[in-house]
Chains A and B, each alone.
Chain A
């Protein structure tokens, strides 16, 4: 075979602009997402600095509210989602023995929408009247009344949505059509499974958000009254439509990370994944349930009792398939010959942190209790435990796990462990006290607070700076490994199993041009 010929690609900027190679596009997604992580991280530091002490000192309240809003939008749509699409691009073709993604040209397009969308979103902050300040949930009436910055944001959300829908269509087509001969669906690696299910969630939920955003735009500019009570509309309708998207969105963020945990825990336990089939069914059940629980985000809008009971019980039901997954991971480790390299630390830390967030989620699911917790820091603590715990821990686990495969070099294991422990300490210092703040009644999205909340807020601010500064270690490790270091073997990890480990490290530019046979 003329492997040398295949390895040729344009160099310089045109390689990245016109690439249709899944590895290049995966790298683009990951680089983009980490740039957005820095942007969102700086915003979180603005928030935490203002909350260092009661009173208003650093920023205007309106700017503070823009920070909470845009921090969330940047982190969710700019960081977490693209990062996992990047992982999918890199890994899914190599895991299922495909030469590339199913629709390479569209793949390029779905990435290159992102930088423009992100620019629109950030530009909104510099518009007259500032960016969106009504929270990332863009509830009317504020999102209908705000200035031109809100229009920028709404268009940015549209573009980010289109990007992830195109990415999902590509992932579904790849997984369903491009598997190597012999790789049946029930032999697929869990990461491919969780992404397949996530991609279906995306194409079902994202267009609903697009609908809600379009309704907001027409309410703002074209005289419709979907959410305007004066014209016969209803702002509560927006909350229903938004959360019909919003709850599946949570699982869009965490399911791929669950897939990562399911790859890493067996490797470092040196045992196959316990209960593979039940893992697949549990993931699918979570995905289904995520569509029928949305109103638990809005218990206090004045729903009838029957509605509150339905949403309470269906929400609690999600704990069952989630529990199945956690028990499966624990059983995988049971009597395994475990070692604790950096990816394993992140995976275990992720499972643990997510479980803490899952429990506070159960507390929030209880309707009468939620009346107390609604819009307090308890909610902020809860979703950071869930999203940071699953998504960010999962992302770091994945990067440390596959970095030697991508670069061909081993990273610095000692520094990797430092990165894990410092992040874990910093994260818990930031968010654990917020549980207590919330229970004591501190409301979210307010730049000022009552005197008695000062101490916990200081812990939280110190933790935030600690966490973000610790990430410098990660950038150092990643760049060092890209530049050089000890050669990684093809298998990299002793217990690693799967098609991607049969390729060289780094893999050839075009891998699996001839499909492998899977027994």
Chain B
């Protein structure tokens, strides 16, 4: 009887050790999956870049563009729009609403921006192109979105975008829309100019469509 109990005790110790080992292995899996969650962030960016999705536009330079042929047989309409996100007290709009061009042709348009506040503010414009699949063919040579823009109180600025739609553009596409969202880069400053009121307004609305489907 005593021997049997002794055996039972030893068996239990062996089992406890096995349980601990397994628990540690499973904890390692948990940690790895936590890391995987973070890894999804760079993977997402890499995928979007490689596949040219998510409306992220490409960049190029004047020499490369000059070497490309212009496809005069086709005409594409490019529309321009822009929005200063609340929290950035700027007036912001394109000077030309739309223009027609041939793929391969370099064009320039200007956006107007005016600081309505009584202090210096720095903003950053984030571009987006719809339909998303045209983004890899929409290439900018020069853009005010390449750098941050700092405006003095009341300052008005005309900012150029020089771009080319390359000839590889899908034949079915007739219209491309380029839009900019201008953000205040300073969080505190954004709050001062109604960044908080944006959140409050947002809480009243259904917000599942954070990114509406591109019309295309």
- Give the B-binding residues of A (Cβ under 8 A): 61-62, 65, 102-103, 106, 129-130, 133-135, 137, 139-142, 145-147, 165, 168-170, 172-173, 176-178, 203-212, 215, 223, 226, 229-231, 234-237, 239-241, 244-245, 300-304, 371, 374-375, 443-446
Residue B138 lies at the interface, judged by CB distance under 8 Å to chain A? no
Tell me the B172-204 residues at the A interface (CB within 8 Å).
181, 183-185, 187, 195-196, 198-200, 202-204
B213 interface neighbour in A106, A230, A301, A443, Cβ under 8 Å: A301
User: How far does the alpha carbon of A169 sit from the alpha carbon of B28 in the complex, in Å?
Assistant: 11
Q: Identify 9 new A-B residue pairs, CB closer than 8 A, beyond the known A135-B208, A208-B40, A235-B211.
A: A102-B19, A103-B19, A139-B207, A139-B208, A145-B199, A172-B26, A176-B22, A207-B37, A230-B124
Residue B10 lies at the interface, judged by CB distance under 8 Å to chain A? no
Q: List 30 A-B contacts (CB under 8 A).
A: A62-B200, A106-B23, A129-B200, A134-B202, A134-B207, A140-B210, A145-B195, A170-B23, A173-B22, A178-B19, A204-B29, A207-B32, A207-B37, A208-B33, A208-B34, A208-B40, A211-B37, A215-B38, A226-B41, A231-B185, A236-B211, A237-B44, A239-B210, A301-B213, A302-B53, A302-B212, A302-B214, A375-B208, A443-B206, A444-B206
Contacts known (A106-B23, A208-B36); A236 close to B30, Cβ less than 8 A: no
Consensus secondary structure, chain B interface: helix
Instruction: Please determine whether A237 and B40 come into contact, CB atoms closer than 8 angstroms.
Output: yes
A162 closest partner in B (C-beta): B30
User: How far does the alpha carbon of A187 sit from the alpha carbon of B181 in the complex, in Å?
Assistant: 60
A241 closest partner in B (C-beta): B40
Residue B27 lies at the interface, judged by CB distance under 8 Å to chain A? yes
Number of A-B contacts (CB under 8 A): 159
Contacts known (A207-B37, A211-B37); A445 close to B206, Cβ less than 8 A: yes
B26 interface neighbour in A134, A169, A234, Cβ under 8 Å: A169
User: How far does the alpha carbon of A117 sit from the alpha carbon of B59 in the complex, in Å?
Assistant: 48
Residue B54 lies at the interface, judged by CB distance under 8 Å to chain A? yes
Consensus secondary structure, chain A interface: helix
CB contacts (< 8 Å) of B196 on chain A: these are 145
6 closest Cβ contacts across the A-B interface?
A: A211-B37, A230-B183, A145-B199, A207-B33, A207-B34, A208-B37
Instruction: Please determine whether B36 and A135 come into contact, CB atoms closer than 8 angstroms.
Output: no
Instruction: Please determine whether A229 and B37 come into contact, CB atoms closer than 8 angstroms.
Output: no
CB distance from A328 to the nearest CB of B (A): 30
A207 interface neighbour in B31, B126, B130, B204, Cβ under 8 Å: B31
CB contacts (< 8 Å) of A236 on chain B: these are 54, 210-211
Instruction: Please determine whether B53 and A304 come into contact, CB atoms closer than 8 angstroms.
Output: yes
CB contacts (< 8 Å) of A106 on chain B: these are 23
Instruction: Please determine whether B203 and A62 come into contact, CB atoms closer than 8 angstroms.
Output: yes
CB distance from B150 to the nearest CB of A (A): 15
User: How far does the alpha carbon of A172 sit from the alpha carbon of B19 in the complex, in Å?
Assistant: 10
Instruction: Please determine whether B132 and A302 come into contact, CB atoms closer than 8 angstroms.
Output: yes
A177 interface neighbour in B18, B35, B195, B202, Cβ under 8 Å: B18
Tell me the B1-25 residues at the A interface (CB within 8 Å).
15, 18-20, 22-23
